[in-house]
Amino acid sequence: MYLLVGLGNPGRAYAQTRHNAGMWAIERAAARWSIRLISRGTAQRGSGRLGSEFIELAGLLDWMNLTGPPLKGLLREFKIKPDNLILLHDDLDLEPGRLRIKQGGGSGGHNGIKSVIEALGTPQFIRVKIGIGRPAPGLDAADYVLQPVMQDEMAVFTPCLEQAVDALECLIHRGLSTAMNQFNIREKPIQDEA
C-alpha cells in the first residue's frame, strides 16, 4: 500500500498559489483514477486502487510549516512505513514545468519538507518535486510561493501536473529507478538547422 500526499496551504486564499502545486497534482490523480477526495480530520482523503496496488491519497489541510505531525498520524493510521510514502510538493530550484523524483535528502529550504523530516525522524521517503522556478530579482521567495499562478503560467503548469500523475503511475507500477530515469530528464532545446 502507498500513501500519496500533496502539500499545500488550506483555504480559498491559497488554493491557486504556487505552494499548492503538490495538492493540485493529488487532485489530478484523484480525478484520473476516479477516487473521491473527502475532507476528514487533517486531510482531504480518498482510497482506491491503481491496478493491483491499493493506494491512499491525501491533501493535507494544515499549514505547510506544520505538515509533519498530521502526516505522521496518517502513516500510523494506515500502518504505512515512510518507504511507501510519496510526497508531492513545489520546488523553487526547478524551472516551471519540470519534475524531479528522488528518495531521501534534506529539506532544500522547504519548510513543509523540513516539518515532515522532523516528525518522521527520517528523510527516506519519495518526493515528486514540481518546478515553480525562482522569483524575479527583488521578490522574496516566501512571497513568491504564496502568489497565485498567473494565467499565462498555467500553460506550463497544466501539462506538468498531468506528467506528475504519469510519474506516480510509473513509481507505483515500475519502481523508483525506472521513474527517475524516465522523468528526471531535461528536454534538449530545439536547435535551428543551418
CATH number for position 15: 3.40.50.1470
131 in a structural domain: yes
Confidence of residue 187 (pLDDT cuts 50, 70, 90): low
pTM surpassing 0.75? Answer: yes
Q: Give the chain's radius of gyration (CA, Å).
A: 16
Q: Are 34 and 49 in contact (CB under 8 A)?
A: no
191 within some domain: no
**Is 110 part of the annotated catalytic residue set?**
no
What percent of the chain has a predicted confidence (pLDDT) above 90? Answer: 73
**Plot region of 93 (φ>0 → left; ψ -120 to 50 → alpha; else → beta):** alpha
Catalytic residue, chosen from 19, 89, 110, 173, is: 19
Q: Is 14 annotated as a binding residue?
A: yes
User: What local confidence, expressed as pLDDT, does residue 193 receive?
Assistant: 47
List phi, psi (to 5°) of 151.
-55, -45
**Whether the Cβ atoms of residue 1 and residue 80 lie closer than 8 Å to each other:** yes
192 located within any domain: no
In a domain, 146, yes or no: yes
Query: What is the spatial distance between Cα 178 and Cα 68, in angstroms, rounded to a whole number?
Result: 28
Residue 189 belongs to a domain: no
Residue 118 forms part of a structural domain: yes
Please list, in sequence order, all residues whose beta carbon lies within 8 angstroms of the beta carbon of residue 95, skipping any fewer than 6 positions away. Answer: 131, 133
Would you say 111 is a known binding-site residue? Answer: yes
pLDDT tens by residue, 1-21: 999 999 999 988 898 999 999
Establish if 52 belongs to a structural domain: yes
- The answer to whether position 188 is within a domain reads no
**Whole-number average pLDDT of the chain:** 92
Among residues of the chain, what percentage have pLDDT more than 70?
A: 95
Per-residue model confidence as pLDDT tens digits over 105-125? 999 889 999 999 999 999 999
The answer to whether 65 is annotated as binding is yes
pLDDT of 191 higher than 60 = no
Count, residues in the chain: 194
Average pLDDT over residues 161-168: 97
Q: What's the total number of domains in the chain?
A: 1
Whether the pLDDT of residue 129 is over 70: the answer is: yes
φ, ψ for residue 55, nearest 5 deg = -130, 150
- Domain containing 144 equals 2-183
